[in-house]
């Protein structure tokens, strides 16, 4: 009765088969590409200031747009400053959602600060400012 195995050489050479691993990776790649949804956010077209650290947002955000003349819109409808808090409160009834503010480059900063305050008072999880990715001019 042989109880010990010999460490000299295995009976069969060890071979690593990569084909199933490649198949799984390709399947996952196809799955994620086919289930990703690409959507354009509705609203007013604004010229956002450039930023070197601009990021992408996901689809479950509340987006307000501020035009150069101070008009505040949500999903293409003008809501004004008084409509920011009720809109955020209504949309954050189930769970707190992040708020993104797209401001025109020439919009007054006081309007933006008041929108941030109203969004926080309405129950927003995070409040962010949207900007276009640009180059730094030093």
| 102-129 residue pLDDT tens | 888 888 888 888 888 988 888 887 888 8
Mean confidence (pLDDT) of the chain: 76
Cα R_g (the chain), whole angstroms: 26
Of the ranges 34-43, 63-72, 129-138, the best mean pLDDT one: 63-72
Q: Where are the alpha helices (DSSP H) in the chain?
A: 19-35, 84-91, 109-121
In tens, the pLDDT along 44-61 reads 666 655 544 444 444 478
Quote the pLDDT of residue 8: 65
Give the model's pLDDT for residue 113.
87
What is the architecture, at CATH level 2, of domain 50-133? 2-Layer Sandwich (3.30)
Question: Would the pLDDT of 25 be above 90?
Answer: yes
Domain chopping of the chain, boundaries: 50-133
pTM of the model: 0.53
Cα–Cα distance, 92 to 97 (Å, whole number): 6
């Amino acid at each position: 009765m042989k109880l010990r195995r010999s460490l000299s050489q295995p009976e069969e050479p060890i071979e690593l088969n990569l084909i199933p691993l490649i198949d799984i990776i390709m399947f996952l790649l196809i799955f994620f590409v086919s289930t990703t949804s690409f959507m354009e956010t509705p609203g007013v077209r604004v010229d956002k200031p450039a930023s070197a650290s601009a990021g992408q947002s996901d689809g479950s955000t509340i987006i307000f747009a501020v035009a150069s003349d101070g008009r505040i819109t949500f999903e293409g409808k003008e809501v004004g400053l008084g409509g920011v808090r009720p809109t955020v409160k209504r949309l954050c009834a189930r769970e707190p959602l992040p708020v993104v503010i797209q401001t025109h480059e020439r919009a007054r900063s006081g309007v933006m600060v008041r929108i941030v305050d109203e969004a926080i008072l309405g129950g927003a999880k995070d409040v962010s400012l949207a900007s276009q990715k640009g180059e730094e001019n030093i």
